[in-house]
Amino acid sequence: MRRLIFASNNKHKLVEVRAALEGIVEVVSLAEAGLEGEIPETANTLQGNALQKAQWVWERSHTDCFADDTGLEVDALGGAPGVYSARYAGEHCSFDDNIDKLLAALDGQRNRKADFRTVICLIENGRECYFEGRVDGQILSERHTNGEGFGYDPIFMPDRFAVSFAEMPLDVKNRISHRGLAVAKLKEYLEK
Ligand code: IMP
């Protein structure tokens, strides 16, 4: 089967992406590809970061690869934390630190609208191609979790659902999520 290196060692993302691309391509993590080191993520757009991560892998492996970058865009915060979602509460902060900071920033705020947006950059034979997915929803006022998910999942409730991402079975999240939708477009492209 065709192999694609995924520029991530995030276990949650690997599980999600592998499940979505099962039977189409073998998704290889950075560790499995023998690639070590910190991938730079210094662009100020999701597309720029996805490209930077995919290029880092391509330059070292000359193997077809893809990378994703995701941002949580909160309406009342003018789209923040956006491209800075991972480091919202500071360098090396935890998911909980980010959630605490966001809940504090939205304390008393009635506009809870937000979206998750993912951009995937695929590099195939040295050429780039992009796929985007987006899901709209609300930021909850406290954590709702069954222990599923990661990142901001406990406080994000997608539109038309009454539960947070962290309360959903993975297959449901994958079907409707930002990354799920972006990966579905990647899958459609790879199947052609
Ligand atoms: P990344 O740059 O794609 O790793 O995503 C940036 C940050 O967005 C991550 O550190 C997470 O905090 C958050 N994030 C990305 N994807 C998800 C998701 O599916 N659920 C919740 N948070 C996410």
CATH number of the domain enclosing 118: 3.90.950.10
pLDDT in tens, 100-115: 999 999 999 999 999 9
Residue among 69, 96, 107, 115 flagged as catalytic: 69
- Number of Cα atoms under 13 Å in the Cβ half of residue 124: 10
Is 151 close to ligand 1, i.e. is its CB under 6 Å away? Answer: yes
- Say what the pLDDT of residue 9 is: 80
Q: Compute the distance between CA of residue 139 and CA of residue 19 in angstroms, rounded to an integer.
A: 27
Give the pLDDT mean for 23-30.
Answer: 95
Give the pLDDT mean for 52-56.
Answer: 98
Is 69 close to ligand 1, i.e. is its CB under 6 Å away? Answer: yes
Q: Which residues contact 16 (CB under 8 A, 6 or more apart)?
A: 170, 173, 174, 177, 179, 180, 183
- Say what the pLDDT of residue 92 is: 92
Is 55 close to ligand 1, i.e. is its CB under 6 Å away? Answer: no
Whole-number Å distance, alpha carbon 186 to ligand 1 midpoint, is 18
* Domain total of the chain: 1
Helix (H) or strand (E) holding 4: strand 3-6
Nearest CA to ligand 1 atom 11: 151
Measured in degrees and rounded to the nearest 5, phi and psi for residue 155 equal -115, 10
- State the pairing for strand pair 3-6/26-28: parallel
Q: Which residue has the higher pLDDT, 11 or 79?
A: 79
In terms of residue numbers, what domain contains 123?
3-191
- Number of Cα atoms under 13 Å in the Cβ half of residue 58: 18
- Say what the pLDDT of residue 93 is: 96
Is 164 close to ligand 1, i.e. is its CB under 6 Å away? Answer: no
64 pLDDT higher than 90: yes
16 pLDDT higher than 90: no
For the chain, what percent of residues have pLDDT higher than 90?
88
Q: Compute the distance between CA of residue 50 and CA of residue 126 in angstroms, rounded to an integer.
A: 15
Q: Which residues contact 57 (CB under 8 A, 6 or more apart)?
A: 5, 7, 30, 33, 35, 39, 63, 65, 67, 123
Q: Does the annotation count 69 as an active-site position?
A: yes
pTM of the model as a whole: 0.94
pLDDT in tens, 140-149: 999 999 888 8
Q: Which of 12-16, 124-128, 177-181 has the lowest mean pLDDT?
A: 12-16
171 pLDDT higher than 90: no
Q: Supply the mean pLDDT for the chain.
A: 95
